Amino acid sequence: MGIRAQQKEKTRRALVDAAFNQLSAERSFSSLSLREVAREANIAPTSFYRHFKDMNELGLTMVDEGGLTLRQMMRKGRQRAEAGGSVIRISVDTFMEVLDSNPNVFRILLHERSGTSAAFRAAVAREIEHFISELAHYTEATAGRTPMLARAQAEALVTLVFNAGASALDMKRADRKILADQLVMQLRMVAKGAEALQHKVEHR
Amino acid sequence: MGIRAQQKEKTRRALVDAAFNQLSAERSFSSLSLREVAREANIAPTSFYRHFKDMNELGLTMVDEGGLTLRQMMRKGRQRAEAGGSVIRISVDTFMEVLDSNPNVFRILLHERSGTSAAFRAAVAREIEHFISELAHYTEATAGRTPMLARAQAEALVTLVFNAGASALDMKRADRKILADQLVMQLRMVAKGAEALQHKVEHR
DNA sequence: CTTTTGAGCGTACATCTGTAAGCTAATTTA
DNA sequence: TAAATTAGCTTACAGATGTACGCTCAAAAG
């Protein structure tokens, strides 16, 4: 890669990072202005356009990147679970760790999921869909669920986890522990309940 | 009430209604400007301050009002359920009807739940908490759940319903029906699962 | 070496924002 | 009836925003 392309990539990263860094509980992506992001990245406002068509394009990049990050970390967690122990417990713990270390990655997904841009909502939905279908296949294979049941179950699990994540963002470590315990209980409810419904289908 | 106070109340309503009417899938409350709302309500921008300290105060009013509306409609639905039939099914159907007739009421709750203002998030959380505790008491009484289990169960149910509502906003009637069916299945999972966990506690 | 390309900059402009200040006129109070 | 209150208005201003235009100058291409 030429010197020029290298520098360009560096600036592009600076923009993405600047945007991520400006996110917080009080600041959503849609409240960021092009000028603010450019300022934080130390470039002139008009130079922004050398990298992205507009703020929308930057945001979608962030959603994609964020989804990828999240999935990679969860996958690592699942590997840990293979060594033994409750899959549910370990997955929840992993998720909480991700939240702790990358809150802004989760924030943009969370916020834009119910945001005002259809493109953003679709992008987030796509990321979440990855989680759901990975999980559905897993349950179909290991617990022998009907595809329809597996799907419903996976969706419920992901919904509960995601939602708990949203609550956790506003909490201190101690309260998060309580939340995590309750989340585990809820996930077990869904698992047990799915099992029960499955048996009902089989005995007929 | 004097003529003066009456007129003032009317203008205040015009402001609230104007704000609600400007909400849509593409427009969140936080993206509305004071001037826009005033324009829609046919008053001068500066007159806004005769009714609300700032946009925040208007928004919180809307959240409170919206939560109340939602709860009233759900309560009506529950009365319908007392005549017989599945509580879950009827509640879901009621919820979908509310969504259809008052989408913007739901939108502000949905969006501000993960918004950038702590005050808004707290206000929405308070509204949701009403649903949860009403439901928890109901299950504690009718199904004899442990308080802790009842709470976890109620929270899971509300989470799933709320989340399905968010998805439904982007859907056409036909797809909503499928969504509603799946939601019912998920709610049954939770109910069954909670029951199973309850028995586990009892037999020890 | 010469030419072309393009990342980044500075200037500029029209548009929108929140809100301060002070006036008007109708209602309310005394 | 006279005085006080106040909802709503007009005018005004400072600040921020997105982006069009044209320049520079170092890297890439020929």
pLDDT digits (tens, 9 = 90+) for A53-94: 999 999 999 999 999 999 999 888 888 888 888 889 999 999
Residue B114 above 90 pLDDT?
yes
Whole-angstrom Cα distance, residue B68 to residue A146?
40
Chain A nearest CA to B141, separation (Å): 19
- Per-residue pLDDT, B79: 87
- CATH assignment of A1-52, given 1.10.10.10, 1.10.3660.10, 1.25.40.10, 1.10.10.60? 1.10.10.60
SS3 at position A187: helix
Q: For residue A138, with 0-12 CB atoms within 10 Å meaning exposed, 13-18 middle and 19 or more buried, which class applies?
A: middle
Report how far apart, in Å, the C-alpha atoms of A133 and of each of A27, A130, A137, A140, A165 are: 31, 5, 6, 10, 19
Whole-angstrom Cα distance, residue A159 to residue A1?
42
**Which pLDDT band holds residue B25 (cuts at 50, 70, 90)?**
very high
> Which helix (H) or strand (E) covers residue A148, if one does?
helix A147-168
Put simply, the chain B residues between 167 and 186 with a CB less than 8 A from any chain A CB are 170, 182, 185-186
Q: Residue B50: which nucleotide is closest by CA–C1'?
A: D7
- Per-residue pLDDT, A172: 96
B contact test, residue of A131, A159, A195 with most B CBs within 10 A: A159
Whole-angstrom Cα distance, residue B28 to residue A5?
39
Name the residue closest to the C1' of C18 by its CA: B34
Mean pLDDT by 10 residues, chain A (204 residues): 95 98 97 98 98 98 96 87 87 95 97 96 96 92 94 97 96 97 97 95 78
> Six-digit token pair at B185?
């299945």
CA of B88 to C1' of D2 (A): 67
Closest Cα in chain B to A185: B152
Residue range A55-202 forms a domain whose CATH class is mainly alpha
Residue A137: CB partners within 8 Å, gap ≥ 6? Answer: A150
CATH 1.10.10.60 domain position(s) in chain A: 1-52
CATH 1.10.357.10 domain position(s) in chain B: 56-202
Residue B32 above 70 pLDDT?
yes
What average pLDDT does range B5-24 have in this prediction?
98
What DSSP letter does each residue of B66-80 carry, written as one string? HHHHHHHHHHHHHHH
> Six-digit token pair at B179?
């969504």
- Per-residue pLDDT, A124: 97
Whole-angstrom Cα distance, residue B146 to residue B54?
44
Cross-chain Cβ contact B194/A189 below 8 Å: yes
Residue A194: CB partners within 8 Å, gap ≥ 6? Answer: A139, A143, A145, A149, A150, A152, A153, B189, B193
Whole-angstrom Cα distance, residue B86 to residue A197?
16
CATH 1.10.357.10 domain position(s) in chain A: 55-202
B56-202: in CATH 1.10.357.10: yes
**Which pLDDT band holds residue B180 (cuts at 50, 70, 90)?**
very high
SS3 at position B27: strand
Q: What residues pair up with B27 in beta bridges, in sequence order? A: B24
Chain A nearest CA to B201, separation (Å): 13
